[in-house]
Amino acid sequence: MKVIQTPLVFIPVYKDYIWGGNRITAAYGRTGTPPVCAESWEISAHPDGESVVSSGPFEGRGLAELAREYGRSLLGTRAPDPARFPLLFKLIDARDRLSVQVHPNNENAQHTGGEPKTEMWVVLDRTPGASLYAGLTESASPAALRAALADGTAAEQLVQLEVEPGQALFIPGGLVHAIGAGCLIYEVQQSSNTTYRLFDWARTGADGQPRPLHIEESFKTIDWSLPAPQMLDPAPRESDDGNLWSDMVSCDFFTLRKLDLEAPLRVTLDRSSFHALFVTAGRLTVTAGNESHALAAGSSALIPASATGYTLNPEQDSTVLITTL
């Protein structure tokens, strides 16, 4: 088996959806972003926006290609497909509300031909009063929701949640949801780009026409058994080295933990999973396989599963989101 052990840093893929803003550019000093930057696909092997390595020995190589070539050396033994990178990592800047939508899960994706998508959000920033929408009210039913869609009152069927920076929210496939205006989000999701729009707030697209809705696909996808989730406020726990770890979300597809890093840290890998890093604050250096990369706030890196481990050296107090399978 071919072995890959060095950190991989990628060129972001930007999306200019109409609801986006400019905070990704402003907050993280990005260049090359579109005037309206709704999403930055940070680490992705999806054909709708594949990541390309920005520097180092694998410069110019695509993540999907590397997954096919290096298999479990890159992905780890937990990966469901040894040649397909299973997750997608995004930044989302919602200047305006996103559509009310739903994604398939592994059980019902076959009904519509879509790709399953369970995801989670970490709130990086928000304007005062910003909120998220997740789940349907207790009184909601298929008939009530169809009626609300017809008369434009679908928002009344949604559970609305106030948010604070640092909170997380888990969105399983089949759950109706929307990101509210003013939220800057870090998203971890299954590698999928299937979205079924139920309601779009009477908005028109760049052509002046309403954006397409997917009512029937949505009703085949909604899991009516799912309760409305609550915002998560993970409690940190101190490690022996003085750094703080917080367990944020763990599900069948990924586990995300937050690390508040004050002292150098060596993380040991057991070949079961890659580690995907996103620095939310501070500045640090990550070293693996005798190669180092400096990561400022807003930077992402991927540590291959076959690396024996990696070292994080903070130049200042830093916060890192670390995702594994």
Which sequence positions are flagged as catalytic?
A: 197
Quote the DSSP letter at residue 308.
Answer: S
Give bridge partners of residue 183 from the DSSP assignment: 94, 126
Give bridge partners of residue 43 from the DSSP assignment: 89
* Dihedral angle over CA of 244, 233, 197, 146, nearest 10: 160
Rounded to whole angstroms, the Cα distance separating 274 from 82 reads 12
CA nearest neighbour of 102 among 259, 235, 217, 226: 217
The secondary structure element, H or E, covering residue 87 is strand 87-94
CA nearest neighbour of 264 among 245, 285, 292, 282: 285
Sign for the pseudo-dihedral over CA of 273, 291, 258, 187: negative
At a CB cut-off of 8 Å and minimum separation 6, what does 245 contact?
Answer: 236, 237, 239, 257, 258, 259, 260
Give the number of C-alpha atoms closer than 13 A to the C-alpha of residue 88, restricted to the C-beta side. 28
DSSP 180-240: PTTEEEEEEEES----EEEE-TT-B-TTSSBPP--HHHHHHH--TTPPPP--B-PPPEE-T
Sign for the pseudo-dihedral over CA of 141, 147, 150, 154: negative
Residue 229: Cβ within 10 Å count: 19
